Amino acid sequence: MIDLHCHLLPGVDDGARTLEDSLAMAQKAVAEGITHILVTPHHNNGKYLNPKAAVVAATEALQTELDNRGINLTLYPSQEVRINGDLLKDIENEDILFVDEESRYLLIEFPTLSIPEYTEVLFFQLRQKGITPVIVHPERNQAIIDDPNILLPFIERGALAQVTAASYMGVFGKDVARVSCRLIEANLVHIIASDAHNTRGRGFYYQKAFAQLEKQFGPEKVRYFKENAKHLLNGDAMHTEAPVEVSAKGKCSRLNKVKFSLFNFR
């Protein structure tokens, strides 16, 4: 399996703190059935700066450590880029890493509480350059939690979105789990990724998430999400299912029995 969102690099953000942490996470990923990881440290979010050259070097160093220790995991460098007004300039200056080598897909994070007013214009400008925004963990954005249909116009205009496995499994609480499910049901998210930060509360949850996905939506939805991750990493064109408005009814009106965390990680 392919994980397109993971904070595996040591000491660069709020993910793995040390090399030992990174190695423990890598071993956990392999145990979850993950074979390829896009490492995505936070970039330009007001706290962390992880420019392209530094991420590439750190990824190569960690890959060497994994290879030397016989941990069968392939890493690719990328960034979780906080949306900002200088993004186009940073892309022109070649300081931004994409999901794929063709610079076709870009992981973009919204602020925790809101969606900036300039988002629609920026996404249009990115699309004009042949870049598809991939909105990471929209289910944890408070504006989308309050009204999931806020996401619909962005998807209708060509953006993609990634739901976090832990969100779907209830680690961030019932509201986030319910929104995750509803976004999946409405075809408003296109891949599941871990957004793993450690081996504890912010772990991978891959096997559990895909098992629940198959139970709620069937094996075809599992194949769809896994194939989409492969398409994004390869920079291939994607066939997406038509998005619809989120409904308060349907498969997600009553959640499956899930053990929810007492902690609300943001």
Q: For residue 239, what pLDDT is reported? A: 86
Q: What is the pLDDT of residue 150?
A: 97
Mean pLDDT of the chain: 94
Q: Where are the alpha helices (DSSP H) in the chain?
A: 19-31, 52-68, 87-92, 119-128, 142-146, 152-156, 165-168, 174-185, 206-217, 219-234
**Torsion-angle region of 248 (φ positive above 0: left; ψ -120 to 50: alpha; else: beta):** alpha
Rounded Cα gap, residues 108 and 130, in angstroms: 15
Q: Which residues of the chain have pLDDT under 70?
A: 253-266
Which pLDDT score is estimated for 247?
A: 82
pLDDT at 254: 58
The CATH class of 2-234 is alpha beta
pLDDT tens digits along 112-122:
999 999 999 99
Residue 227, judged by CB atoms within 10 A of its CB (0-12, 13-18, 19+), counts as: middle
In this predicted structure, what is the pLDDT of residue 259? 44
> Per residue in 44-79, pLDDT tens?
998 999 999 999 999 999 999 999 999 999 999 999
Closest CA to 8 of 34, 45, 38, 48: 38
pTM for the model: 0.94
Are 146 and 115 within 8 A, CB to CB? no
